[in-house]
Structure 1
Amino acid sequence: MIMALSEQEISPAEQARREFRQQRRKRSIWISLASTLAFAALVWFGLLATPGWQRVEESFFNWEVAVASFPRVIDGLLLNLRVLLVAAVLVLIFGLMLAVFRTLKAPVFFPLRVLSKGYVDLFRGLPLIIVLYLVGFGIPGLRLEFLGRIPAEVLGIAALTITYSAYVSEVFRAGIESVHPSQRLAARSLGLSYSQSMRLVVLPQAVRKVVPPLMNDLVALQKDVGLISVLGAIDAVRGAQIEVAKFANFTPYVVAGLLFVLLAIPTIRLADRISAKFAAREQQGVAL
């Protein structure tokens, strides 16, 4: 068993190298900090020197308006969170279904493959805001009495699910096709049916491989939930719009934007961490 070297067993040359790396790391930190502060000061004083800064500051960065508008905006953000959670689950389910349909090889499944491909091509090409208008105003326009009055957030969830399922299905399909055919053949040779080999062998490997891009799609979805405001849902964006009209000031938009950023940062950092972890494993040749 190889034991870690104690401090006494480290050679003078190795000790010198460690001290040099530590000093260089400290030097890099101080240089980064100094350059960041210098850049921030340059931007700050540059803004202060512009002729219209005082007017912009009053219109977009008014502290009193920010405090007064915060309760309504945060209430709307809670609606965005609910929409995000439901839409994310539905997108994963429908995206995986579409990906499986597109990978079916038997001739009898040709209609499913064609419909899935057409669906993906259509909704990857349509802008999300147009889908929101089509779903948000088209479905109520059908006047289906058994549906009753559909809340705006439900219509928003439907539109987000329809659009993002097309993107996520391509991510899942890439993961499924990246699994080597020998895996399927080995599963079939063990007596597993097609559905069993897909569920027990192919999909677990495919999902592990596509986790990083799925996290990126989640970040994009997290941002786009703010578009449900076009349907009249009182979310963070619509709440900010109401407060802007109330105070004749644009600060509530800045408040809503900052809340979305604060909501997205943990997810972005998690996505970066997962991507780096998977990349490191691939470089080391570790099975995912």
Structure 2
Amino acid sequence: MSHVEAVAPTDGGLPPAVPRPPREKFRSTVVLAIFGTILFLPTGILAAIELRRAARARAEGDVRRLRTHLFRGRVWALTSLGFAAALVIVGFGVLIVTANNHAVWTVFFDPKVIADNFGPLLAGFWVNVKLFLVAEVAILVWSVVVAVVRDLPGRPAAPLRFLAIVYIDVFRGLPTMLILLVIGLGLPRTGLPVVSGLSNFESALLALTLNYGAYMAETVRAGMHSVHPGQESAARSLGLSHLQTLRRVILPQAIRNMIPPLLNGFIMLQKDTALVSVIGVVDALSQAQTSANYTASLAPYAGVAMFYLVITIPSGRLSDYLIARNRAKTLGKV
């Protein structure tokens, strides 16, 4: 018969004492704190304070306090190293900007050149804004249609599924610039009704919709597949058709998971609208090229870059917020 041997308690019935942390860990933390103090004094001092407390706890035999203060000391020491690395990078950037009698600042960031050309640059950027606002709606609708067609069940829908797959593979595999050139410069030469009469703006809209629709369709399809299959089974058991199940059950739940990746895709779209100048759309980039040729300065390009950053940075932060909120909901923290 098997039996379990009991471990005799020590020190008057108390469990054995928890072993102290290795001496090497204390020494390594001291070394980190010294480097941290040298490289970035404020957080280095905080690391030294925590090490002093850890040494006091070690002398008193309080293992829990020792480990706590050692951990805090390492965190503050590593924070000092992070601040020091960041300061080195920032200092290197400042050195580049100020080198050679502020040559980089003069060439790229001349405020007078940017101010003199602000009006035309803003007018050109408004064209980009209108383009990506309209394109976002068109892409969203088109991508949902393609994703639904690709997921149609049954043998009768196999030809449509095949066409959807071919479309996604082709337009995901072609560069955006090539699609713009083919549609913006090639279709007008065909003489076909409707497509040959498209304006440059409309050709750019069509090219971006077809290109990004292929990417977004896969994002939408992934969002639809993120919904538990039991939801579809329950809806079908209640007598709903496949399309009714998608509209009333699957898509409403999938939207929450699709918003962050769709928003990231739209941020990429906002930047890629700068490519439409190759087919004759008078946007911010084409205005910047004209201004740069006239002023013999690259500052107009920096002005356009600032316009894009004003749009894309808030969009990126919104995407991060939505991702964090969805994660919190998934973990039950909201």
Per the TM superposition, whether the score is higher than 0.5 is yes
Counterpart among 204, 209, 224 of residue 156 in structure 1: 204
Contact 2:232 2:245 in 1 (8 A): yes
Match for residue 69 of structure 1?
117
Distance change in 2, residues 1:280/1:146 (3 Å): closer
Contact 2:143 2:213 in 1 (8 A): yes
Matches within 5 A, 1:103-142: 103-142=151-190
In structure 1, distance between residues paired with 2:263 and 2:130:
18
Deviation for aligned residue 1:166:
0.3
Deviations 1:54-90 (A, max 9, x none): 4433322222211111111100111111101110001
Identity %: 36
Contact 2:98 2:105 in 1 (8 A): no
Distance change in 2, residues 1:39/1:146 (3 Å): closer
In structure 2, distance between residues paired with 1:215 and 1:71:
29
Report the count of equivalent residues: 260
Match for residue 149 of structure 2?
101
Structure 1 gap ranges (5+): 1-23
Match for residue 266 of structure 2?
218
Greater RCO (Cα-Cα under 8 Å, separation 6 or more): 1
For residue 192 of structure 1, give the secondary structure of its aligned residue in structure 2: coil
Match for residue 59 of structure 1?
107
Matches within 5 A, 1:192-211: 192-211=240-259
Deviation for aligned residue 1:145:
5.4
In structure 2, distance between residues paired with 1:231 and 1:148:
14
Deviation for aligned residue 1:148:
6.6
For residue 210 of structure 1, give the secondary structure of its aligned residue in structure 2: helix
Match for residue 326 of structure 2?
278
In structure 1, distance between residues paired with 2:196 and 2:212:
26
For residue 117 of structure 2, give the secondary structure of its aligned residue in structure 1: helix
In structure 1, distance between residues paired with 2:152 and 2:261:
23
Structure label with greater radius of gyration: 2
For residue 143 of structure 1, give the secondary structure of its aligned residue in structure 2: coil
Contact 2:216 2:262 in 1 (8 A): yes
Deviation for aligned residue 1:142:
1.1
Deviations 1:125-151 (A, max 9, x none): 101000000110111111235567422
In structure 2, distance between residues paired with 1:112 and 1:145:
25
In structure 2, distance between residues paired with 1:168 and 1:150:
24
Name the aligned partner's letter for residue 101 of structure 1: V
Question: Once structures 1 and 2 are overlaid, which stretch shifts more, 166-175 or 186-195?
Answer: 186-195
In structure 2, distance between residues paired with 1:143 and 1:206:
42
In structure 1, distance between residues paired with 2:83 and 2:127:
38
1:254 equivalenced with 2:302 (yes/no) = yes
In structure 2, distance between residues paired with 1:164 and 1:106:
27
Match for residue 94 of structure 2?
44
Aligned-CA RMSD value: 2.5
Please, what TM-score do these two structures have when normalized by structure 1? 0.83
Deviations 1:36-61 (A, max 9, x none): 66753443135424x4x644333222
In structure 2, distance between residues paired with 1:146 and 1:276:
45
Counterpart among 167, 171, 174 of residue 222 in structure 2: 174
Please, what TM-score do these two structures have when normalized by structure 2? 0.72
Name the aligned partner's letter for residue 44 of structure 1: V
Name the aligned partner's letter for residue 125 of structure 2: L
Counterpart among 99, 119, 137 of residue 89 in structure 1: 137
In structure 2, distance between residues paired with 1:133 and 1:74:
25
